[in-house]
Structures are given as structure tokens and as C-alpha cells.
């Protein structure tokens, strides 16, 4: 499971070895996508958290307890309806059933509110109809 989050560190937490603690205590890998961190200043990190979904949730809870502000990414999945051939391959990897095939029409159905932007569907699409908006 993958979750993209923005972490905002208060001054006192900027030096905290957060990625090390996530890996050691929660078995969650943190891939840093963007960083704006300077000593003794408020810092920001955009990271992709990879691991078991329960462990990621526990890691997020732990970061909040450390007064690190955690906001879920504003990235959204975009489906190019003109390219989609409704093959259903993407539905097989979607962990939240945000992507399903309609039982009668066999057309792809995307329920945005269920999507956690894990991006697992993107590489499965044979016609590259799935992307993110950022
Ligand atoms: S990114 Fe794709 S696979 Fe992941 S939850 Fe959203 S629709 Fe499903
Ligand atoms: S894998 Fe691509 S073409 Fe197939 S249903 Fe999903 S979005 Fe459409």
C-alpha cells in the first residue's frame, strides 16, 4: 500500500529522524518526493509512505502525536475516458474497489471517494488511460 502525504514539522521536530523511526518502528518506508527543511525552522516534506495499511495509519498517528502535521496529498487519479477500453485490468489491483466494472454494462466505474491514490492501477492499464493530476 502507498500513501502520499505532506508533513509539516514544528521547529522542535525538524531534527527528528522521522524516516528512520517509520522504518524501524512501523516497517513503513518513506520515499521523499519534495523537501523544504532547514535547521531550526518549520520544515515540509512530501513523502510516499509504503507499507501495510494498518502500519501506515499507526505511523501517521504516531507522527501526529509528535506534533507533526500530516495532510493527505491533494493528488487525484484521472481517468481518460476516451482512451479507456474497459478491459477491467485496473480493477484487479485496486485495494479499495474504487475501480469496478459495472455488472451489467461492463463499463469501468470509478468512485473517487473510495480512491486512496495508491497509484497501483496506473501501471496496469494497457492504454495508459490512468494518471494523476500532479
Ligand atoms: S489509485 Fe487506483 S488502485 Fe489505488 S485506490 Fe485509487 S483507483 Fe484504486
Ligand atoms: S486498465 Fe485502463 S483501459 Fe482497462 S479498464 Fe482500467 S482504465 Fe480502462
Residue 75 or residue 108, greater confidence: 108
Which residues neighbour 22 within 8 Å (Cβ) at sequence distance 6 or greater? 28, 29, 30, 49, 59
Write out pLDDT tens, residues 13-69.
777 889 999 999 999 999 887 777 666 667 788 888 999 999 999 999 999 999 999
For residue 121, the ligand closest to its alpha carbon is 1
Parent domain of 17? 2-72
The total number of structural domains that make up the chain: 2
Q: Residue 120 corresponds to which cell in the numbers above?
A: 497501483
Q: How far apart are CA 48 and CA 32, in angstroms?
A: 7
pTM over cut 0.75: no
Residue 58: its H or E element: helix 53-65
Calculate how far, in angstroms, residue 55's C-alpha sits from the geometric centre of ligand 2. Answer: 30
* 65 and 30 in a common domain: yes
Determine whether the shortest distance from the Cβ of 94 to ligand 2 is under 6 A.
no
**Last residue of one domain, picked from the residues 20, 50, 72:** 72
Q: At which of 26, 55, 72 does a domain end? A: 72
Residue 22 Ramachandran class (φ > 0 left, ψ -120 to 50 alpha, else beta): alpha
Q: What is the mean pLDDT of the chain?
A: 89
Percent of the chain with pLDDT over 90: 58
Distance 116 CA to ligand 2 centre (A): 18
Protein residue with least CA distance to atom 5, ligand 1:
115
Amino acid at each position: 500500500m502507498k500513501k502520499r502525504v505532506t508533513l509539516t514539522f514544528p521547529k522542535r521536530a525538524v531534527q527528528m529522524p522521522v524516516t528512520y523511526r517509520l522504518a524501524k518502528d512501523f516497517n513503513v518506508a518513506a520515499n521523499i518526493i519534495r523537501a523544504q527543511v532547514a535547521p531550526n525552522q518549520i520544515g515540509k516534506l512530501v513523502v510516499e509512505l509504503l507499507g501495510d495499511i494498518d502500519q501506515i495509519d499507526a505511523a501517521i498517528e504516531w507522527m501526529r502525536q509528535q506534533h507533526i502535521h500530516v495532510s493527505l496529498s491533494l493528488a487525484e487519479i484521472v481517468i481518460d475516458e476516451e482512451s479507456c477500453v474497459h478491459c477491467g485490468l485496473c480493477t484487479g489491483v485496486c485495494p479499495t474497489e474504487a475501480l469496478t466494472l459495472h455488472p451489467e454494462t461492463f463499463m469501468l466505474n470509478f468512485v473517487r471517494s473510495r480512491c486512496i491514490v495508491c497509484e497501483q492501477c496506473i501501471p496496469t492499464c494497457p492504454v495508459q488511460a490512468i494518471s494523476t493530476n500532479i
